[in-house]
Amino acid sequence: METSSPQTTGQKVFLETFGCQSNALESGHVASLLLKDHFSLAPRAEEADVILFNTCSIRQHAEDKVFSRLGQLADWKRDKEGRVIGVLGCMATSYKDQLMERAPHLDMVVGPDQYLKVPEVIRQASRTGQSQVLADFDPVYFPENDPNRLSQPHKAFIEIMKGCDKFCTFCVVPFTRGREVSRPAESVLEEVNRLAQAGVKEVMLLGQNVNSYGLPSFPVRKFNNGQLGEPSSPIPMDKETGLGLKSRGGTLPFPQLLREVGQVPGIGRVRFMTSHPLDLSDELVEVMAEMPTVCQSIHLPVQCGSDRVLKRMGRKYDVAHYLGRVRKLRSAMRDLFITTDLIVGFPGEAEEDFQGTLDLLEEVRYDAVYSFKFSPRLGTPAARMLNRVPEEVQDQRLARLNEKAWNHASESCQARLGLVEEVLVDGPADKTPGAFYGKSRQNRTVVFPGTGYRAGDLVKVKVESHKVANLYGTVLKTNCEL
């Protein structure tokens, strides 16, 4: 790759992330590409020559924030020659050049599969004022961590697959991220080994549906119907069979990949997300229960507790299947930490459907719940459904749901009182002077008083209280081994 020219050496880039863990991982990747190319990173927008937003399209609110930030930057851009503004991430693939129309002072729009070009695109924009839109998908490209430039020294996200073929009717991801592609296992294991040698102790394997990692493809042609975000490059697809090229060979079933990652020397904790309930196999449950390095925590989005609504969401399972999977998990792991995502106010959701969601919460008693009001996404089938739930009904349902979920989360914290948690230290606690924080094996935040701890230290903490979803306690033992 070309090194930076004298005009641009030392340009400072402010990179702000709005999206999910995949976006956060990719921001780290972009940051390390920029540093390698002689850019530096600015901690605040005010100090920057280049402002990049790594964006999310999942809900309207996420996009509104970015449009408003872009609007505020028109004067900033005019104030000094050579300044550059860029949009990365999912809004780049969902809007492409339409973004330039909405924000004419924007210089670059770069989608998630084109990040290797970011340094060069910035240089060109800064030198010539030329704007560029690069939003094609590339099934071969996967972002990898640079072990020398990790944002945290002790843990890392690893992308094992990308895209999504599930096409839930409310969701924009299949359009912003393209067809599902699994990364070859060898490449995943190489990255994990490299990171472990650099001192990483915990890895989170990431994908929209990790449970379908390496599974055979299914036909995708019927979805290629010109909806929003249809890739401008051809969808990776086998021309003869019409099958999406989910796996380019060299993959394993997900439980086996998990087992292999869990055996990499030096890796003491393995996590994964997101699990789709449809593909959650008994083998996965066995690996979670058996492998001491695989953390016994699972994010298992249910979205709704009504079969009628689940069907219209296109989730491809019913409540009985979901509860069956939860029972299987719980019977294999006594101490399982289980979290979910829920959407309230999906079009046509009646009070009795919502009651089904409350009943499901009562049955599962999640350790944590992430709840969202339905947000219509342009180009998705649900956005065209007519029977929208009024805003105030959505608000009331969200409040009722959150109250119940909150009580369960609080009970789940109380159940930890008096127990000893193994905590991997992240650093000093921002809000509690003289204290540090880290994560338990279940991924709960644990805060404890102390001095001199470093990120990556492992300590045992006796839990004495909890506030919101955080546990508080005192250290019983330091310098533990994973």
Q: Cβ of residue 102: shortest distance to ligand SAH, in angstroms? A: 20
Cα→Cα distances 285→31, 116, 196, Å: 36, 37, 25
340 neighbors 370 (Cβ within 8 angstroms): yes
Q: Report 40-69 residues binding ligand F3S (CB under 6 A).
A: 56-58
d(CA 298, CA 368): 11
Residue burial 261-280, b: 16+ Cβ < 10 Å; e: rest: bbebeebbbbbbbbbbbebb
**Hey, is 114 helix, strand or coil?**
helix
| Cα–Cα distance measured from residue 118 to residue 355, given in angstroms and rounded to the nearest whole number | 48
470: tokens are 């955080």
Per-residue DSSP letter, 342: E
Q: How far apart are CA 257 and CA 260, in angstroms?
A: 5
357 touches, from ligand SAH, ligand SF4, ligand F3S, none (C-beta below 5 to 8 Å by class): none
Choose the binding region for ligand SAH from 8-16, 331-339, 371-379, 464-472 (rule: CB under 6 A). 371-379
State both tokens at 58.
């999942």
Binding status of residue 114 toward ligand F3S by CB under 6 A: no
299 touches ligand SF4 (CB under 6 A): no
How far apart are CB 177 and ligand SF4 at their closest, in Å? 8
> Residue 368 Cβ, how far from ligand SAH at the closest point, in Å?
13
Scan for tokens 């094992």, then name that residue.
160
Give bridge partners of residue 310 from the DSSP assignment. Answer: none
Q: Tell me whether residue 135 or residue 164 sits nearer to ligand SF4 (CB atom).
A: 164
Instruction: By CB under 6 A, tell whether 15 contacts ligand F3S.
Output: no
Q: In this chain, which of 22, 169, 275, 296 binds ligand F3S, going by CB under 6 A?
A: 22
- According to DSSP, the β-strands at 458-467 and 470-477 are antiparallel
Q: Which does 448 bind (CB under 5 to 8 A by kind): ligand SF4, ligand F3S, ligand SAH, none?
A: none
Min CB(387)–ligand SF4 separation in Å: 21
The CB-of-37 to ligand SAH minimum distance in angstroms stands at: 31
Q: Which residue's entry shows tokens 């127990």?
A: 419
State the DSSP code for 390. P
Question: 3-state SS of 413-444?
Answer: HHCCCCCEEEEEEEEECCCCCCEEEEECCCCC
List the Cα angle 165/168/174 in 5-degree steps. Answer: 40
- Tell me the closest approach of the beta carbon of residue 283 to ligand F3S, in angstroms: 27
Q: Compose the 174-213 pattern: x for residues touching ligand SF4 by CB under 6 A, - for all others.
A: x---------------------------------xx----
As measured in angstroms, the least distance from the Cβ of 75 to ligand F3S is 28
**Count of CB atoms within 10 A of residue 150's CB?**
17
C-beta of 8 vs 208, nearer to ligand SF4: 208
Nearer to ligand F3S, 173 or 185 (CB): 173
- Within 13 Å and on the Cβ side, how many CA atoms surround 438? 30
375 close to 61: Cβ distance less than 8 angstroms:
yes
Give the residue with the Cβ less far from ligand SF4, 124 or 208. Answer: 208
CA distances for 181 relative to 11, 225, 253, 267, 381, angstroms: 35, 20, 14, 25, 23
d(CA 115, CA 108): 12
For the chain, report the end-to-end CA distance as a whole number of angstroms.
39
Starting at the edge strand found earlier in the chain, the sheet holding 368-373 runs 297-299, 337-344, 368-373
Among 32, 211, 217, 274, binds ligand SAH (CB under 6 A): 274
443 binding ligand F3S? (CB under 6 A):
no
120: contact with ligand SAH by CB under 6 A: no
Number of H-type helices and E-type strands within the chain: 14, 19
Of 84, 88, 171, 294, the residue at the interface with ligand SAH (CB under 6 A) is 171
Query: Could you say which of 173, 264, 447, 471 contacts ligand F3S (CB under 6 A)?
Result: 173
Q: Which stretch binds ligand SAH (CB under 6 A): 81-89, 264-272, 370-378, 465-473?
A: 370-378
Q: Which of 89, 229, 277, 356 binds ligand F3S (CB under 6 A)?
A: 89
Site map (CB under 6 A) of ligand SF4, residues 259-288, x = contact: -----------------x------------
Among residue numbers 231 through 270, which ones bind ligand SAH (CB under 6 A)? none
Q: Site mask, ligand SF4, residues 415-444, x = CB under 6 A? A: ------------------------------
Q: Can residue 20 be called a binding residue for ligand F3S (CB under 6 A)?
A: yes
Binding site for ligand SAH (CB under 6 A): 58-59, 170-171, 173, 208-209, 274, 276, 301, 303, 341, 343, 372, 374-375, 377
Binding site for ligand F3S (CB under 6 A): 19-20, 22-23, 56-58, 89-90, 172-173, 176-177
Binding site for ligand SF4 (CB under 6 A): 164, 166-168, 171, 173-174, 208-209, 276
